[in-house]
Each structure stands twice: as C-alpha cells, then as structure tokens.
Amino acid sequence: MINKPRGTEDILPSDSPLWQKIEAAAREVCDTFGYREIRTPVFEDTALFQRGVGDTTDVVQKEMYTFEDKGGRSITLRPEGTASLARSFIENSLYADPQPTKLYYLISCYRYEKPQSGRLREFHQFGIECFGGTADATDAEVITLALSFFEKLGVTGLKLNVNSIGCPVCKQEYNQILREYFRQHQEKLCETCHTRLEKNPMRIIDCKSEICSAIAQDAPKMIDHLCPDCKEHLDKTLRYLDSVGVDYIIDPSIVRGLDYYTRTVFEITSDQLGAQSTVCGGGRYNGLVEELGGKPTEGIGFAIGLERLIMIMKSQGLDQEIPQSRPDIFIAAIGDDADVTAQTLVYQLRKMGCRAERDLCNRSIKAQMKYANKLNAAYSMVLGDDEITNQKAELKNMADGTSKPVSLTAEEIFQNIQ
Ligand code: ATP
Ligand code: MG
C-alpha cells in the first residue's frame, strides 16, 4: 500500500464543511474590506523565493521544496504567498490600477519541516496583501481584517502581538548594536546563526534553537532604536487600533521569519495551539516589490495557517454546529421499471435543486431503507410495480413517520417536500 507523504494530510468529507465555512468567511470578510481574490501558480522560479523571502531565512535555507524540472530550470513549490503576489503585481502591472491593490488568497503551501502538531509539509493559508497603500491607516485595516475574520468564525481567546522592526535606516544601526551583542555569545550560537550574525543578525532573534533564543531574550530591542518616522508610524498604527477598541500587546521579540518586513509586524496567537502558537503572522514589507524588480511600493499583509485555525476551532467546539449535508429525499425501488422511474425522478429533482438520492449498490428494499436512514434523508419513497402502474406513491416524512400519497412527477414531489 502507498501512504500519503510524510507531513501531508487528507482533508476528508467529514471535515469539508468546516473548511468550506472558513473559506466562505474569508471571502465574505475580504469582500466587505474590498479585497479581491488572486490565484498564482503552486510553483515558481526558485530565485523568486530566494530574493523575495530572503536567503538568510529558515524557509529558504532549510525548508524549500526545490527541484530541477525536465527543462533544467530550478523550480520551488511555494512556501508562502507574498512573494508570488508581489511578482504577479509587477508582472501584470496591477500598479497601473487605482491604488492600493487589495488582494487575498486561499492557497496550499509547502515547507520541508519536521512534521508535528500544527506543523506540516503541505499546509494551507488564507492571506491578504495590500500594495500601494501609503496611508498609516493601512496597517490598522489589515490587522482589523484578520480580527474580523476570526470574530466571524466565533473564535475567541486570541492575542494580538504588535511590534515595529523599523526601516532600512534604523534597522542598519540597530543591526550593528545587535551584532555587537551577539558577538559576545558567538561560540554558543548554532551554525546557521553564525552566518546570520554577519548577514542578518535580526534573524537570530527568530531562531528556533533553544540556546539561541535564550541568548536572544536579553538582546537589545528594535523598538527602543526606531528612527522618529518609524516611531511615529507605530504610534499612529496603535492609535488607529485603539480607536476601534482592539486589544494588543506590544511584543518587542517579534521579528517575523521572513526577510522582507519593515516597520509594523504582528502575530495573532492562541494558547490552545501548544508550541506552534501563532495562527496569523503579518506585517509591512516596503522593500519587497522593489527587491523583485518593481518600482518602490508600500506593502502590508498577513497569512493565517488554516490547519492551526482548525485546531483552535475544534478545541473550542466550533466544528460542532456546522450542518452536514443530507438528502431531501431518498427514492427506493424494487424491480426494473421502478428502478428506471427512480432514476428519472432523482435526475429531475436534482435539476430542480433538490438533494435527491437513490441506491447505487443493488441493495434489497430493506437495506435501501436502512441506508436512507443512515443518510438522514428528510423524506423517502418506495417504488414497486403497483406504484408504477398507478403512478402514485407514499411520500414519507422520516422525522415524524407520517406519509401522504403523491403522484410520480418531480414537480409534485418537489412541492410536497418543501
Ligand atoms: P512558525 O514560527 O510557526 O514556523 P512562520 O513564521 O514560519 O511560523 P509564516 O511564514 O508567518 O510562519 O506563515 C504564516 C502562518 O502559516 C503561521 O502563523 C502558521 O499559522 C502557518 N504555518 C507556517 N508554517 C506552517 C507549517 N509548516 N504547517 C502548518 N502551518 C504553518
Ligand atoms: Mg516556520
């Protein structure tokens, strides 16, 4: 037997209603906030992620699914959505539309990680990106969209953690201060962080190794070294959040895993997720579009891990009230003529938008009725020779056991089961 690859999951029909509910909530919230869906390829040129995610990140250094295709190109399965969206924004000249360009996506992502609870190799994200929004209010719009989505689903107990990691100017000065700090602990840092120390010391703060993160605890904080413009941007963002009554925690330790972030970064966490507590990560990435060959363009967005969201929803019992689809009517049949009539009626009823079902396993009549019960059909009907001759049958209400005669036309059946 061939099993699914390590770190992947089948989403079974019993879970589909929950996924569909989440996807519908995402689409509705995005619609009210004016974000439109974009779909980009599952795989991209490897260079896109090396440049767009950053080659000092865990994602690029350790986690990418990269292979050579038959044409000798280096291809990577997308580990995230933002770089692809920025590429598409440039390639399709979306910047020529009235700005900002507000996009959302519902995608699968691929990262070669050690599979564990809340950490898969194939997982799903709902995310948004706003390109070209220059006003300070953009950050608050993006954050409140994420919160509105969780609220719509009834998810509670989440924490919003906000930080600013500055702009290239203040970041550079801060990196120097940080480098000096980490140099004092250089021998203890992991191998990856040795390279990070010179190239991008801020990455060390995000390192998953216990020793590195313990050292990072006491490292100088970016938030204490922001330039006046970045400080003002952060203050304004917080003021907008205050104005709509959003609770947040300022968490100087958030630097986010990806290289392209500037200024606002945020995470939404839940204590129902164990070690993988972050359900949503986002922030501003003013340098990204330019890095990928476009004109300097402001950008901000977030991504929500749907498997982690589902873990939270299940632990809060939010998967319970979702109705599973059930047939409106089950038409059972004995004999060839009845069987053909059952087939015709089911077909016609389905065309009318009615969930009509019949047996497809050559069951006995008794077994057909048992099956109708299992399917939780609202109504049922048995067709035999007499019913075909008289063109009439008993329509049974499965909930209260009552029945009434109806003629064998889809219209009459349809009217009587509404
Ligand atoms: P983590 O610190 O948990 O590795 P990350 O910073 O790598 O997260 P992002 O790149 O910001 O994650 O992705 C956004 C969201 O996608 C995360 O907050 C999480 O909910 C989800 N996510 C990321 N990696 C995985 C994974 N391997 N399996 C399941 N969900 C994931
Ligand atoms: Mg990660």
Question: Ligand 1: distance of its center to the CA of 397 in Å?
Answer: 49
Question: Ligand 2: distance of its center to the CA of 251 in Å?
Answer: 18
Atom of ligand 1 nearest to the CA of 119: 28
User: Ligand 1, residues 106, 276, 309: which to mutate, most atoms within 8 A of Cβ?
Assistant: 276
Ligand nearest to the CA of 80: 1
Confidence at 351, pLDDT banded by 50, 70, 90: very high
3-state SS, residue 62: helix
Query: Is the predicted pLDDT of residue 67 greater than 90, yes or no?
Result: yes
What's residue 255's pLDDT? Answer: 83
3-state SS, residue 48: helix
Domains of the chain: 16-167+227-315 (3.30.930.10), 329-416 (3.40.50.800)
Atom of ligand 1 nearest to the CA of 279: 20
What distance in Å separates the CA atoms of residue 415 and residue 352, rounded to the nearest whole number?
11
Q: Which of 281, 350, 270, 325 is nearest to 21 (CA)?
A: 325
Residue 390: which H helix or E strand, with range?
helix 385-390
Query: Is the predicted pLDDT of residue 259 greater than 80, yes or no?
Result: no
User: Where does ligand 1 bind, in terms of residues with CB under 6 Å?
Assistant: 80, 111, 113, 118-120, 123, 125, 257, 276, 278-281, 303, 305, 307-308
Angle in degrees, 0-180, between the axes of helices 228-243 and 137-152, rounded to the nearest 10: 40
What's residue 19's pLDDT? Answer: 98
Tokens representing 102 are 């507000």
User: At 295, which amino acid appears?
Assistant: K
Question: Ligand 1: distance of its center to the CA of 399 in Å?
Answer: 46
Atom of ligand 1 nearest to the CA of 309: 20
More confident residue, 207 or 280: 280
What is the arithmetic mean of pLDDT over 25-49? Answer: 98
Q: Is the dihedral of CA 373, 375, 380, 386 positive or negative?
A: negative
CB 214 within 8 A of CB 204: no
User: Ligand 1, residues 160, 278, 304, 307: which to mutate, most atoms within 8 A of Cβ?
Assistant: 278
* pLDDT digits 0-9 by tens, 165-203: 999 889 889 999 999 999 999 999 999 899 889 888 988
Residue nearest to atom 21 of ligand 1 (CA): 305
Percent of the chain with pLDDT over 70: 99
What is the arithmetic mean of pLDDT over 8-37? Answer: 97
* pLDDT digits 0-9 by tens, 401-418: 999 999 999 999 999 998
Query: Is the predicted pLDDT of residue 257 greater than 70, yes or no?
Result: no
User: At 281, which amino acid appears?
Assistant: G
**What mean pLDDT is reported for the chain?**
95
Question: Ligand 1: distance of its center to the CA of 305 in Å?
Answer: 6
What's residue 396's pLDDT? Answer: 98
Question: Ligand 1: distance of its center to the CA of 208 in Å?
Answer: 13
